[in-house]
Chain A
Amino acid sequence: MKIAVCIKRTPDSESRFKIAASGAAIDETGLKFDMDDFAGYAVEAALQLNEKAGGGETVVYAVGPDTVQESLRKAMSMGADRAVHLKAESVADGIAIARALAAELKGGGYDLVLFGKHAFDSSAGVVGTATAELLNVPCVTAASELSVSGGKGLARRELEGAAEMVEFPLPAVVTIDEGVARPRYPSLKGIMAAKKKPLESKPAQLGTVRVTVTKMELPPERPAGRILGEGVAAIPELVRLLQSEAKVI
């Protein structure tokens, strides 16, 4: 199969964040960046689907500044065949990003286009689904299981308190939830090979950008809590506080 995977590079989610002097970005000093977790699942899912199919091509795409090339190389070190970098400054408008990706993917002959279900930083989950709409192909969002056979895709989606099993024709866009596949670590051989794989870079055709980040702030700290005591002896006080102070039972 010919599979495209659209990925993003995001800071390590375990980081402590600070706001940059501009007040509208995070301070990137000292932060570690890597391919976003959900994008990693999507790359792994694509590689496994093609391994199972016994061949095909996996192409990775990313929209962003030059630094995203690092994540594109990583995807190639995991096994993707080539990469396309659509150059743009950091963009908060998911529809504009989808526009750039759809323009690029259109006519690419892809059976499947995969995305992470959302990225850690923007936590918006817009780009994959919007890209599918612009390509006018079926889209399954937040798939936690995915398989392909006989030109048809099968997926599972977690709903609140239920799960939905779906079937869809290819070509299609699928956004990947955790659970589909654990990303492999690039092997040394893979890392060496990735250096020679083609990485094309060109400007992203974003069109008009209509969503901008105008401020970033850290959430208020929760007020310091109280340890009421040790063991069962503390229970009467807890129940009293839940009734009288928090008024929840």
Chain B
Amino acid sequence: MANVLVFAETRNGELRKIALEAVTAGRTLAVASGGGEVHVLLAGAPGIGSKSGQLAKYGADAVIVVESADFAQFARESLAATLADAAKSGGYRAVVLGFSAQGRDLGPRVAARLDAPIASDVTELAVNGDAITVKHPGYANKVIMTLTLTGSPVVLSVRPSAFTAAESPKAGRVEQGKASPASGVTVKVTEVKEGAKGRPDLGEAPIIVSGGRGLKAKENFKLIEDLADALGNAAVGATRAVTDDGWRPHSDQIGQTGRQVSPQLYIAVGISGAIQHLAGMRTSRTIVAINKDKEAPIFKVADYGIVGDVLEVVPALTAAVKEARKGH
């Protein structure tokens, strides 16, 4: 039996989806190690403690609340120190975070501070006696590695969407914790540039509509936006070719060198399916491809394909989706 400490990721005072997924992963590990507790570190600007209830609802036995004005921004050094100190004092078997922009940054810091082994981008985990084994897709998702970690504690960052956030109410005892100061000089955030509002992030969206060179011109991305609007709660992605050409911002790129996503529905429009792109989206649950070339490799991974001119098919699909979703 061993307890697990989970880092609850927040941004702008809100819990992120990955925070609840990490709680699920923490629970999986606690159960596998004989039924310990899941404690969640919730660190943020004053007021963040109000999110404790939500963490309890999704399975936190205890929530350690650390409120500090410094945490209004991503105070990476102090956050890492706070998490590492909480891990040390609680004698946890594992520290679980999300493999998100924040978690990718914090995980290795915490592991180095704890002198603990770390596995990144974990999709499955299990306990084998004294060791923890995890699955982690490497080689741009082309090879699934099983890693064995010995020693305690271990640090695990879990892949977004690999674990499902599920309601499973627990006590959620609230404990007040203290922020640990950074041990040296720090990185200062001078500005945060928020992206386009009104659309979910690529990592959190249940639906992604993505466009490639087959759209022929930057302006035609309007068709992608319209389809995303019709579907509701959909994000817009792009191929590397498109972001390299400046049709879309670099941050929209899905692929080996961009974002790696696993939405419930991925609609690839005018995308041929280069390996570079497939590496970023092939784990999506349902894939739809619309492309004029019936030999395009994207059709090999697509559940449903339509061969045709995207400039004709997409507006018609948008209209059909609107019709089908009437009343939503």
Contact = CB atoms under 8 A, between A and B. Distances in A.
Is chain A's binding surface mostly helix, strand, loop or mixed?
Answer: mixed
9 contacts: A121-B139, A125-B120, A162-B192, A165-B189, A172-B187, A230-B308, A236-B320, A238-B306, A249-B231
A216 B144 CA distance: 6
Contacts of B241: none
Interface of B: 11, 74, 76-77, 80, 100-102, 104-105, 107-109, 111-113, 115-121, 133, 136-151, 183-196, 201-204, 206-207, 231, 250-251, 256-259, 264-265, 275-276, 279, 282, 285-289, 294, 299-309, 312-313, 316-317, 320-321, 324-325
A138 B275 CA distance: 35
A235 interface: yes
A21 interface: no
Interface string A13-45: 110010100000010000000000100000000
B144 A235 contact: no
Contact of B148 (A126, A166, A172, A211): A211
A53 interface: no
Contacts of B202: 160-161
Contact of A157 (B101, B146, B196, B320): B101
A169 B195 contact: no
Contacts of B185: 137-138, 168-169
B113 A133 contact: yes
Contacts of A224: 300
From B11, B143, B282, residue with most partner A Cβ within 10 Å: B143
Contacts of B143: 17, 19, 26, 216-219
A158 B282 CA distance: 22
B287 A225 contact: yes
B117 A211 contact: yes
A238 B317 CA distance: 9
A93 interface: yes
Interface of A: 11, 13-14, 17, 19, 26, 37, 92-95, 98, 120-130, 132-134, 136-142, 144, 154, 157-169, 172, 178-179, 210-219, 222-232, 234-236, 238-239, 241-243, 246, 248-249
A91 B35 CA distance: 32
Contacts of A225: 287, 289, 299-305
Contact of A129 (B112, B119, B201): B112
A13 B117 CA distance: 27
4 closest cross-chain pairs (CB), A and B: A133-B112, A215-B146, A129-B108, A231-B308
Contacts of B265: 242, 246, 248-249
Contacts of B139: 11, 13, 17, 26, 120-121, 123
From B104, B201, B299, B307, residue with most partner A Cβ within 10 Å: B104
Contacts of B184: 136-138
B304 A248 contact: no
B108 A125 contact: yes
A214 B308 contact: no
Contacts of A129: 105, 107-109, 112
A230 B313 CA distance: 9
Nearest to A213: B145
A228 B203 contact: no
Nearest to A169: B185
A123 B203 contact: no
B290 to A, nearest CB: 9
Contacts of A165: 189-193
Nearest to A16: B142
A238 to B, nearest CB: 6
